[in-house]
Every structure is written in C-alpha cells, then in structure tokens.
C-alpha cells in the first residue's frame, strides 16, 4: 500500500490522501508520496529528513515528491536518495502525471478537489494566490488564484457528506474564491445531512458583507474563524505588504462576535519579522488578548530566498524563537480563558477516538466514560478544563 507524508497546510493534507490513491491505482502501490511545504525553512528541512530516513530504512522503495518546495526547486528534490519522480503542483492530482512520463512542471492548472478519509473531510475549493506578501513564496509554488466552480464544489460536498460528519473547505487563499459566500450556501444546501462545515484560514481583508451574512445566518457553519493575521503592528504589516491594519482586525473580531456571540477566533502569527522592534512585538503579544485569539499557529520568521523580506535587516534567530515562544504562551493563556468560559455549556462534539472529540468551536473535549467510535456526533456538558482541553460528560 502506498503511504503519504504531508507537510504544511490543510490543503496539502487533503491533496496527500488523494495522491496516495492515485499512486496505488497507477502502479506505485508500495511508494511513499511526500507532499512538501515551502512556507518555512524548517518545513523544508523536515521533508528532506523524512525522505533521507525513508530511503535509508527501506532502500529501493520509490519516493514520489511534490508540493510547493518541490515546485520551486525540483532539481534539488530529485537529487535526494530514493526519489523516483518529482511532480509539479499543477499536475499532482492529474492521474496522467502518475503513470506517464512527467510533464513540464506547472502551477496554473485548474483546481482539482481532494478529500481525506476519516471523521472529517478536507475539500479543496481554491488554489494559488494573487497577493505578494514580502515574506511568502507560495505564489511561486501554487501559481495564481483560481477557485473550484460552485456547482462542482457542491457535488463533491454532497458525496463527502455521505461518509463524513464534518467538511473543511480549504485553499491557499480561501477568502479569494470568487464566490465564497455562494459556495458556502451551495455546499450546505447540497449536503442537508452534514452536521458541520468548517473553513480553513481566511484573509481578513477579503471578508465582505456577503460573507458576514452567511456567517450570521448559516447555523451549520462552525462558529470559529482562523485568520491569516501575521502581525498587528501597522508598520510591520505595511512592510509585510498585508492589506489589513490593527484597527481592521479589532473591527473584524467585534463583528464576528456581534453576529455570533461566543465565536472562537484564531490566527497565524509571524514572530521576529525583519526590523521588528521589541515594542512592536509587545504590541502583537498584547493583541492576542485584545482580540481574544484562543487558537494560534505561531511561526518564527523564516527567510525565503528571492522574497523582499529576505533582503531586509534580520532579527536574530534566537530572538525570533524567544518571541515565538512568548506568543505561544500568550495564546495558551487566551485559550485557557476561552475554555473556562465554556464551563457548564452544552457542546456538540464530533468524536475522533480514544475519548477525544472536537466541539463546533474547534476545542478538544475529553469525554468521561467508555469511548465512542470516531465519527460519533453527540452532545456533552462541559464539566471542567485542564487549560488546554475541555472535560465533559454526555447529556
């Protein structure tokens, strides 16, 4: 059986499961598919280490490499031990790329939906990015923005809802889908039995009035938003070439909670961006509590070759790591505060195995008593929290 290793975003996770099946159907039954990420140097290093380890532990096993890092520097990845083929991002979900001679690497092919098996499915509805943030190489790895047609997304969602209780709409820049609001409504109409629809990371600057109407009206849309924030200091945001500012983020947080009280907010943050001062970092750290960000993905800044930020005066590596740790600690404090606010509440929980499940807000909940099978949807009353996980009992 083919195996897939995925690094990076949820979109990669969705694609990796689809590629594993493609590899098996195309004569690569024993292959290892490695879906790389180029967001940070650490993500690239982890993928290289995984490839070298796989080649060392299982000599002769073919390794198929794809993803953003492989897209940007295919020759580098092709030279690693055990690598039989490098497949470009634009063709990695094309069956022909797996059993035919590899075509020239491209990133501008149409979006092809892909979903993982299990409790929840990830449905890719958008690819690429038209923005050029100074720290990011993703446009090089994923190409221009393009969206899956709404009707096709609805058909895919209807099929997935027959086997899954939750679907996550994913994309490189999901909020840039040409009709995200219409897509959400179409998916929910096409899958009336779907318990929960969740969204992957969203660009704060791209959320329009149509989106907020959907957010307010669609009860099966999970009451949680994960935002591509990156920073909260206006000068740093300008140097990042982001399209939002501090005031915009606070207004967004207020609007989200005014329309859906108790909504959970989270975001991606970069620590130690070039030129970031201690005061600017402190501003970002304070913003976590100010906006109530309970679920964070924190990345120490990683210079990406060829990007404008890589030419800016760098923040020392040790300081980047220290600031990242401080942001994570602030995020954990905010998560503990959010979870404490759920005490006594009844939650809809999607069980994932070993007594653990996830609430609609995206919080982990450990259920007392005998564990339920993964995919079980139940109601639980929150009886406690350990600061990172809710504790509950069946209602």
Q: What is the pLDDT of residues 84-100, one digit of tens each?
A: 999 988 888 887 777 76
What is the Cα–Cα distance from 120 to 157, expressed in whole angstroms? 12
Predicted local confidence at residue 116, as pLDDT: 66
Residue ranges for the chain with pLDDT beneath 50: none
Q: How many CA atoms lie within 13 A of 252 on its CB side?
A: 28
Query: Which pair of structure tokens corresponds to residue 394?
Result: 């069946």
Per DSSP, the chain holds a count of helices (H) and strands (E) of: 13, 16
Pairing between β-strand 377-385 and β-strand 346-353 as defined by DSSP bridges = antiparallel
What are the backbone dihedrals phi and psi of residue 91, each rounded to the nearest 5 degrees, phi first?
-120, 0
β-partners of residue 32 are 3, 63
DSSP conformation class of 375:
T
Predicted local confidence at residue 395, as pLDDT: 92
Predicted local confidence at residue 108, as pLDDT: 67
Alpha helix ranges (H) inside 300-376:
317-340
Query: Which pair of structure tokens corresponds to residue 293?
Result: 């960000």
pTM: 0.89
Query: Which pair of structure tokens corresponds to residue 210?
Result: 């149509």
The helix or strand, by DSSP H or E, that contains position 377, with its residue range, turns out to be strand 377-385
Predicted local confidence at residue 258, as pLDDT: 98
Q: How far is CA 103 from CA 106, 107, 110, 180, in A?
A: 8, 12, 16, 32
What are the backbone dihedrals phi and psi of residue 135, each rounded to the nearest 5 degrees, phi first?
-100, -5
Burial (0-12, 13-18, 19+ Cβ within 10 Å), 261: exposed
Predicted local confidence at residue 369, as pLDDT: 84
- First-last CA distance in the chain: 41
DSSP one-letter string for 231-266: ---HHHHHHHT-S--HHHHHHHHHHHHHHSTT-EEE
pLDDT tens readout for residues 127-153: 999 999 999 998 888 899 999 999 999
Domains, the chain, with CATH or none: 3-99 (3.40.50.12160), 122-340 (3.80.30.20), 346-394 (no CATH)
Predicted local confidence at residue 18, as pLDDT: 81
Q: Are the C-beta atoms of residues 194 and 157 closer than 8 Å to each other?
A: yes
What is the Cα 215 distance to its own chain's centre? 19
Q: Residue holding tokens 């207004």?
A: 251
Q: Residue holding tokens 């069956």?
A: 95
């Amino acid at each position: 059986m083919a195996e897939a290793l995925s690094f990076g975003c949820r979109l990669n996770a969705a694609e990796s499961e689809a590629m594993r099946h493609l590899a098996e159907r195309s004569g690569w039954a024993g292959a290892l598919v490695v879906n790389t990420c180029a967001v940070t140097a650490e993500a690239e290093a982890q993928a290289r280490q995984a490839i070298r380890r796989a080649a060392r532990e299982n000599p002769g096993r073919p390794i198929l490499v794809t993803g953003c890092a492989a897209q940007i520097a295919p020759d580098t990845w092709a030279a690693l031990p055990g690598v039989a083929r490098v497949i470009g991002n634009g063709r990695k979900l094309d069956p022909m790329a797996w059993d035919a001679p590899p075509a020239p690497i491209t990133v501008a092919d149409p979006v092809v939906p892909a979903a993982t098996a299990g409790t929840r499915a990830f449905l890719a509805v958008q690819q690429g990015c038209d923005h050029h943030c100074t720290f990011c190489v993703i446009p090089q790895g994923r190409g221009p923005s393009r969206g899956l047609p709404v009707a096709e997304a609805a058909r895919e969602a209807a099929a997935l809802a027959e086997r899954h209780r939750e679907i996550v709409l994913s994309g490189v820049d999901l909020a840039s889908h040409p009709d995200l609001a219409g897509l959400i409504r179409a998916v929910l109409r096409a899958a009336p039995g779907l318990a929960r629809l969740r969204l992957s990371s969203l660009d704060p600057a791209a959320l329009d009035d149509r989106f907020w109407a959907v957010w307010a009206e669609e009860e099966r849309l999970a009451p949680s938003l994960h935002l591509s924030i990156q920073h909260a200091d206006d000068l740093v945001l300008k140097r990042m070439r982001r399209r939002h500012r501090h005031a915009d983020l606070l207004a967004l947080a207020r609007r989200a909670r005014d329309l859906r009280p108790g909504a959970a907010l989270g975001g991606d943050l970069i620590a130690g961006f070039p030129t970031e001062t201690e005061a600017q970092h402190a501003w970002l750290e304070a913003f976590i509590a100010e906006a109530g960000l309970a679920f964070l993905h924190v990345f120490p800044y990683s210079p990406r070759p060829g990007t404008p930020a890589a030419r800016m005066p760098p923040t020392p590596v040790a300081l980047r790591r220290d600031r990242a740790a401080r942001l994570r600690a602030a995020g954990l404090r905010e998560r503990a505060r959010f979870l404490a606010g759920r005490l006594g509440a009844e939650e809809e929980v999607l069980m994932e195995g070993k007594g653990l499940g996830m609430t609609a807000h995206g919080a982990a909940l450990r259920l007392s008593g005998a564990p339920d099978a993964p995919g079980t949807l139940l109601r639980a009353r929150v009886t406690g929290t350990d600061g990172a996980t809710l504790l509950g009992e069946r209602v």
